[in-house]
C-alpha cells in the first residue's frame, strides 16, 4: 500500500511538473458595430462592420520550457469578420499571425508570418491602435502603423527587456528564384517604456511591394482586385508600380496622472516608380514621398471611462509623369474623437467619430478625394464617419 501511495505521489508530481513546463492558451476578440458614412462614392451609407476597434480574431498561444533558460513558443492567430463569419486577411486560415520559435534570457527568434518592426515599436503610439480603431488610422494606413500589412516567410528577433529598453528586427525572404532581393522585406526597431515616458522608432523596407507575395499584397490576392487595400485607396494606389516601399517612423507619449499626450511622425516613400507593371495606374517615374504627423490625447476620466482626441496631417510630394503633367501631390487633414466605456475587464462599448478633408491631386492623377482608412472613398474632398460598437475579449 505504501509503495502504491508513493508511486501515485510520484506520478502526480511528474504531471504537475509537466503542466508547469508547457502551456497552451486559447484567446480572442470579437468586435462588431454599426457605422454611418457621410459620403461613400457620393452616397450616405449605413453598414455593419466588424473588427474596427480591434481586429476580430481567435488564436492559440503556447510555450514549452526546454530547460537551461530556453523555451519554445508558437502562435496561430486567425482573423475573421463577425458580420458574415468569413475569414479575414484574404481568406487565410491564420492570416494574422503564424509562427514558431525559441527564446532565452536574451530574446526570442521566431519564424513564420509576423508583424514587422514599425507595427511593434511605433504603431501602439498612434490613436488608431489605442481608442480609435482602423478608421482613425492615417489615410490608407500608408505607414502601416495600424498593421494593414504583415510579412510572410519572416525571421524575427525580439530582445528581452533591459530596464525598459527593447529592440528587434525582421527579415522576410522574397522567394523569387534568381532574384534574391525580389519581394524581400526587412525592418529594425527599438522602444523605451519607463514610468510615464514611452518612445519608439522603426525602419521598414519592402522590395516590389505590389508584386504577388510582396508587402502590400501579402494576402496573396491580385493587386488590382476589388477590396485590395493597395488598389482601392486613392491615397497611394496609383503608386503600385514602385520598386521599393520605405517607412521611417517615430513616436512618443507622456502620461500626467490620468492624461496622456502623444505624437507620431512618419516618412513614407514609394521609390523607383514604373518598375512593376500594374494595369490601370498612371505612368509615374521617380519617388512619391509622404510626410505624416499626428498629435493625440487621451484621458482616463474613471477606471471605466476613457476619452480621446487626435489630429493627423499628411503631406504628399509632387511626382513626375512620363506622359502628362507633374502630379502636384495631395494633403489630408483628419480629426478623430472617441469615447470608450468598459462594462467589465473584458467587455466595452465605444463611440468613434472621424472627419477628413483632402485637397490637391491624389495618386490616381485626379482631384484628391477624402478617403478614411478602409472605407469607400468619397467622391469629393470631405468625408466623415461615426461608429458605435461593442468589443469582447476572451
55-102 pLDDT tens trace = 999 999 999 999 999 999 999 999 999 999 999 998 999 999 999 999
Taking the C-alpha atoms of residue 369 and residue 180, their distance in angstroms, rounded to an integer, is 38
What the block records as the C-alpha cell of 222 is: 491580385
pLDDT tens column, 357-385: 999 999 999 999 999 999 999 999 999 99
pLDDT-derived band of residue 213, with 50, 70 and 90 as boundaries? Answer: confident
Residue with cell 513564420: 112
Alpha-carbon dihedral 43, 44, 47, 50, rounded to 10 degrees: 90
Taking the C-alpha atoms of residue 124 and residue 166, their distance in angstroms, rounded to an integer, is 14
**pTM of whole model > 0.85?**
yes
pLDDT-derived band of residue 209, with 50, 70 and 90 as boundaries? Answer: confident
Backbone angles phi, psi at 376, to 5 degrees: -60, 130
Taking the C-alpha atoms of residue 208 and residue 229, their distance in angstroms, rounded to an integer, is 16
**Mean pLDDT along residues 206-235:** 63
pLDDT tens column, 251-281: 999 999 999 999 999 999 999 999 988 888 8
Given a cut of 60, is residue 292 above it in pLDDT? yes
Q: Is the dihedral of CA 152, 155, 159, 160 positive or negative?
A: positive
Taking the C-alpha atoms of residue 389 and residue 351, their distance in angstroms, rounded to an integer, is 7
- Segment 7-14 long-range contacts (CB within 8 Å, at least 24 positions apart): none
**Mean pLDDT along residues 158-171:** 98
pLDDT-derived band of residue 218, with 50, 70 and 90 as boundaries? Answer: low
The number of residues making up the chain comes to: 394
Taking the C-alpha atoms of residue 65 and residue 127, their distance in angstroms, rounded to an integer, is 37
Fold classified for 23-393:
Porin (2.40.160)
Alpha-carbon dihedral 154, 160, 162, 164, rounded to 10 degrees: 70
The C-alpha angle 17, 18, 21, rounded to 5 degrees, equals 85
Alpha-carbon dihedral 269, 275, 280, 286, rounded to 10 degrees: 50
Residue 6, Cβ density class (10 Å: 0-12 exposed, 13-18 middle, ≥19 buried): exposed
What the block records as the C-alpha cell of 288 is: 512619391
What the block records as the C-alpha cell of 373 is: 482608412
Amino acid at each position: 500500500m505504501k509503495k502504491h501511495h508513493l508511486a501515485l505521489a510520484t506520478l502526480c508530481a511528474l504531471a504537475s511538473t509537466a503542466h508547469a513546463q508547457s502551456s497552451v492558451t486559447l484567446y480572442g476578440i470579437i468586435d462588431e458595430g454599426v457605422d454611418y458614412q457621410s459620403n461613400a462614392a457620393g452616397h450616405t451609407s449605413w453598414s455593419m462592420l466588424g473588427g474596427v476597434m480591434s481586429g476580430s480574431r481567435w488564436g492559440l498561444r503556447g510555450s514549452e520550457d526546454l530547460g537551461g533558460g530556453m523555451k519554445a513558443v508558437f502562435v496561430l492567430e486567425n482573423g475573421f469578420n463577425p458580420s458574415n463569419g468569413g475569414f479575414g486577411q484574404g481568406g487565410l486560415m491564420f492570416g494574422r499571425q503564424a509562427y514558431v520559435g525559441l527564446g532565452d534570457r536574451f530574446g526570442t527568434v521566431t519564424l513564420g508570418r509576423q508583424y514587422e518592426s514599425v507595427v511593434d515599436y511605433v504603431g501602439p503610439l498612434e490613436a488608431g491602435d489605442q481608442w480609435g480603431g482602423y478608421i482613425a488610422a492615417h489615410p490608407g494606413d500608408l505607414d502601416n502603423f495600424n498593421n494593414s500589412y504583415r510579412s510572410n516567410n519572416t525571421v524575427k528577433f525580439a530582445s528581452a527587456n533591459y530596464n525598459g529598453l527593447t529592440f528587434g528586427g525582421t527579415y522576410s525572404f522574397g522567394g523569387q528564384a534568381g532574384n534574391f532581393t525580389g519581394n524581400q522585406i526587412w525592418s529594425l526597431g527599438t522602444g523605451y517604456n519607463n514610468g510615464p515616458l514611452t518612445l519608439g522608432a522603426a525602419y521598414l523596407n519592402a522590395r516590389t511591394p505590389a508584386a504577388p507575395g510582396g508587402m502590400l499584397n501579402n494576402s496573396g490576392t491580385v493587386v488590382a482586385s476589388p477590396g485590395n487595400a493597395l488598389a482601392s485607396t486613392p491615397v497611394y494606389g496609383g503608386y503600385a508600380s514602385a520598386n521599393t516601399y520605405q517607412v521611417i517612423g517615430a513616436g512618443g507619449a507622456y502620461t500626467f496622472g490620468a492624461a496622456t499626450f502623444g505624437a507620431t511622425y512618419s516618412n513614407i516613400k514609394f521609390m523607383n516608380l514604373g518598375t512593376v507593371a500594374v494595369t490601370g495606374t498612371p505612368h509615374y517615374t521617380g519617388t512619391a514621398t509622404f510626410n505624416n504627423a499626428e498629435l493625440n490625447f487621451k484621458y482616463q476620466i474613471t477606471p471605466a471611462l476613457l476619452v480621446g482626441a487626435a489630429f493627423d496631417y499628411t503631406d504628399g510630394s509632387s511626382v513626375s509623369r512620363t506622359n502628362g503633367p507633374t502630379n502636384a501631390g495631395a494633403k489630408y487633414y483628419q480629426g478623430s474623437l472617441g469615447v470608450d466605456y468598459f462594462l467589465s475587464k473584458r467587455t466595452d462599448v465605444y463611440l468613434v467619430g472621424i472627419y477628413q478633408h483632402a485637397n490637391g491631386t491624389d495618386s490616381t492623377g485626379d482631384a484628391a478625394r477624402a478617403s478614411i482608412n478602409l472605407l469607400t472613398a468619397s467622391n469629393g474632398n470631405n468625408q466623415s464617419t461615426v461608429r458605435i460598437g461593442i468589443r469582447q475579449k476572451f
